């Protein structure tokens, strides 16, 4: 079966509500779109998340949902000393501010359903090269 694979890295910062200190934050995800007929359904992914100021590199998993207004990201991961958290956010495409809206993604960090921080990440590679660098057609053997 022929599938579409997306590999993307987003970089930016995380700010916890209690400290208001901005910490460098980065994640890379690999998504395989298994359902070509309904690519807008949430697609599971695995990836790696880095918080250098906490000396943390950890696995993340979650869902990427493609929407006409912009992709939605839901990441789940563990921060030692804090526990399991979830970051959710989506890009909002805007023709008047196209470059920023294609690359920037605001996210909220939650723990047990309560907002505990804010994240802002961006795709930093060339937007023009995105299709060549981040997307691949692959064969999937079930």
Q: Return the domain boundaries, the chain.
A: 2-139
Is residue 102 very low, low, confident or very high in pLDDT (cuts 50, 70, 90)?
A: confident
Is residue 89 very low, low, confident or very high in pLDDT (cuts 50, 70, 90)?
A: very high
Q: Which residue has the higher pLDDT, 68 or 83?
A: 83
Long-range contacts of 47-53 (CB under 8 A, 24+ apart): 47/75, 49/25, 49/75, 49/77, 50/24, 50/25, 50/26, 51/14, 51/23, 51/24, 51/25, 51/79, 52/23, 52/24, 53/23, 53/24
At the top level of CATH, the class of 2-139 is: mainly beta
Q: Which residue has the higher pLDDT, 126 or 114?
A: 114
The yes-or-no verdict on residue 132 having pLDDT over 60 is no
State how far the Cα of 113 lies from the Cα of 89, in Å rounded to an integer.
14
The yes-or-no verdict on residue 78 having pLDDT over 80 is yes
């Amino acid at each position: 079966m022929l599938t579409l694979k997306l590999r993307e890295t987003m970089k930016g910062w995380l700010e916890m509500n209690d400290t208001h200190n901005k910490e460098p934050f980065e994640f890379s995800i690999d998504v395989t779109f298994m359902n070509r007929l309904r690519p807008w359904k949430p697609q599971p992914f695995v990836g790696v998340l880095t918080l250098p100021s906490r000396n943390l590199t950890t696995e993340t998993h979650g869902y990427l949902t493609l929407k006409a207004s912009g992709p939605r990201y839901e990441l789940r991961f563990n921060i030692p000393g804090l526990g399991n958290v979830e970051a959710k956010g989506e890009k909002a495409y805007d023709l008047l501010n196209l470059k920023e809206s294609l690359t920037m993604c605001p996210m909220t960090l939650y723990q047990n359903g309560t907002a505990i921080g804010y994240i802002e990440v961006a795709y930093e590679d060339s937007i023009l090269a995105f299709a060549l660098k981040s997307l691949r057609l692959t064969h999937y053997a079930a």
